[in-house]
Chain A
Amino acid sequence: MTSRIIRPPRTRRELLKLTPLLAIGAVAYPPWRGRILDAGMRFSDRVSALTFRPDHLAPTYGAADVVPFEQFPYNYYDILEPEIDFAGWSLKVDGLVSRPGSYSLAQLQRIPKVSQNTRHVCVEGWDAIGNFGGARLADFLDLAGADPQARYVAVTCADGYYESIDRATARQPQTLLCYEMYGKPLDRGHGAPLRLQIPTTLGYKQAKYLLTLSVVNDLPEERSFWGDQGYSWYGGL
């Protein structure tokens, strides 16, 4: 009753107060659309990175929840099975590391092995719980003498793929240089001989057929194979 007023309503002024909402129409203008959506993606990535907890573990699952190996999907986009000289293969490491050079699979396998049942989530929307084995990327970075303050880890792959991840993701304890699935060496389709396995990111961040690994403070021009085409660079879950 207290709010009862007597004067006629100022409808025109009230209507005009809404006009700033028309600014949202800027996204309908094609030259501006890309910039607005880029800004939206950068904002989402920033919030994702800020809310990432470096020591928080992604859920792990019991053996009963793991999908049979035959049902673990291959990504049909990059089932290229590139030519790789497996006998002579090594991971070339450079950048902000005190021990750059080539690391053989045997050297990586001397790092304490981690085996984990985690959920692989594809940007397309499907998911599968699998078993993955390999060396903690954090352990390998220490082995190579990586600068602990370096901001990014960037990789390139035998099929022309490339990716980069931030320091927090690279050093999260479940982030693996993965060489095994289901207790067996990686097969060709899943990225033999070595891939990234990162339970806290989408699948496209988990590059296969690794050839090189760089520890850097500035991202290369080619930041992320799919990220450069429009997906989120961060791709974190």
Chain B
Amino acid sequence: MRKIAAARPRVSPSDVVPVARWEGKGGATEVAAYEHPFYVRVAHWLTAITLVIMAASGLRIFLAFPSFGEKVPQQDFWHPPDAITLGGWLGGALQWHFTFMWVFAGAALVYLIGQVVSGRYRMVLFTPRDIPGVWPMARHYFLRGPKPPVDQPYNPLQKLAYTTTILFGALSLVSGVALYKSAQLPWLVTMLGGYRLVRGWHFLALCGFAAFVPGHLLMVAIHGWRNFTAMLTGWKRDPEYVKR
């Protein structure tokens, strides 16, 4: 039998992640991987801050017309509670939204350009090759199944989650531009299925973030401090996927 899986090897961690080994106290070998270069960390924390601002101010804006249909007659879809909104009133919320949208878009641009130029996108981009690994990982996380071997910085389930979230980010930006400039970019509005639907896409992107963020925070809380500090310093100590 031929081993087809070996024909196209996975991205090796050391292809994209610099690894440091040095002699620590007592002569033991210490290992750390530079998982997150500066631009990734900057983009991550800028996004973390602005996403909260954009979501909360966006909900306040949505409150001014909490519907996706006609104005007359108006059928409300959902009234976000005041406690999760920002800006106090529509005008205030728009100020937050129209100020921090530039930071949000800037962080996205820095991240995407950096990933493509450095080739690091291969580490996190979900591809068809990752499909077979999704279920074993999900079974491990949610059903206490056996832990699949860890041989790369991001497992297939993580790749799926991060790639989907990047797509939600792209959707929020594209639909936001279409809403902001609907008269200047009518082709974009048409491509997204019309003005009403554009508001729907923009809201759907928010739902995507709302699904991702709690899971992301939970995983960081459960799986550790090392992942959190890695996003601050770039370096992850003793990564599972690097042999000592």
Binding site for B on A (CB under 8 A): 1, 3-9, 11-12, 14-15, 17-18, 21, 24, 36-41, 43-44, 48, 51-53, 56, 58-59, 67, 70-73, 119, 121-128, 199-200, 226, 229-232, 236-237
B20 CB–A CB distance under 8 Å = yes
Q: How many A-B residue pairs have CB under 8 A?
A: 142
Question: Which of B14, B186, B235 contacts A4, CB < 8 Å?
Answer: B14
Taking A40-B99, A72-B72 as contacts, is the C-beta distance between A119 and B195 under 8 angstroms? yes
Question: Which of A8, A53, A125 contacts B20, CB < 8 Å?
Answer: A8
A121 to B198, CA, bound (A): 13
Contact B95 A40 (CB under 8 A): yes
Question: Which of B38, B71, B95, B100 contacts A14, CB < 8 Å?
Answer: B38
- Residue of chain B at shortest CB distance from A68: B72
Contact A199 B183 (CB under 8 A): yes
A40 to B70, CA, bound (A): 31
Q: Enumerate 6 A-B pairs (CB-CB under 8 Å) in ascending A order.
A: A40-B100, A41-B95, A44-B101, A119-B195, A124-B64, A126-B65
Number of interface residues of B (CB under 8 A): 53
What residues of chain B lie closer than 8 Å to A1, measured between beta carbons? 14-15
B112 CB–A CB distance under 8 Å = no
A152 to B54, CA, bound (A): 32
Known: A15-B233, A230-B89. 5 other contacts (CB 8 A): A17-B38, A24-B49, A24-B103, A37-B95, A236-B184
- The minimal Cβ–Cβ distance linking B119 to chain A, given in whole angstroms, is 11
- The minimal Cβ–Cβ distance linking B87 to chain A, given in whole angstroms, is 9
Contact A51 B30 (CB under 8 A): no
What residues of chain B lie closer than 8 Å to A5, measured between beta carbons? 18-20
Contact A56 B42 (CB under 8 A): no
Contact A14 B96 (CB under 8 A): no
Contact B100 A237 (CB under 8 A): no
Taking A3-B14, A51-B184, A58-B186 as contacts, is the C-beta distance between A229 and B99 under 8 angstroms? no
Contact B99 A18 (CB under 8 A): no
A36 to B234, CA, bound (A): 30
Contact B71 A119 (CB under 8 A): no
Question: Which of A21, A36, A127, A200 contacts B42, CB < 8 Å?
Answer: A21
Question: Which of A48, A125, A232 contacts B199, CB < 8 Å?
Answer: A125
Interface residues in B52-99 by Cβ distance below 8 A to A read 61-62, 64-65, 67, 70-72, 74, 89-92, 94-96, 98-99
Taking A14-B235, A37-B99 as contacts, is the C-beta distance between A9 and B34 under 8 angstroms? yes
A38 to B232, CA, bound (A): 31
- Residue of chain A at shortest CB distance from B186: A59
Taking A8-B20, A36-B99, A230-B91 as contacts, is the C-beta distance between A127 and B195 under 8 angstroms? yes
What residues of chain A lie closer than 8 Å to B65, measured between beta carbons? 122, 124-126
- Residue of chain A at shortest CB distance from B235: A9
A11 to B231, CA, bound (A): 11
A200 to B186, CA, bound (A): 11
- Residue of chain B at shortest CB distance from A67: B70
A121 to B183, CA, bound (A): 10
Contact A14 B98 (CB under 8 A): no
Taking A15-B233, A18-B45, A41-B95 as contacts, is the C-beta distance between A7 and B22 under 8 angstroms? yes
Contact B96 A37 (CB under 8 A): yes
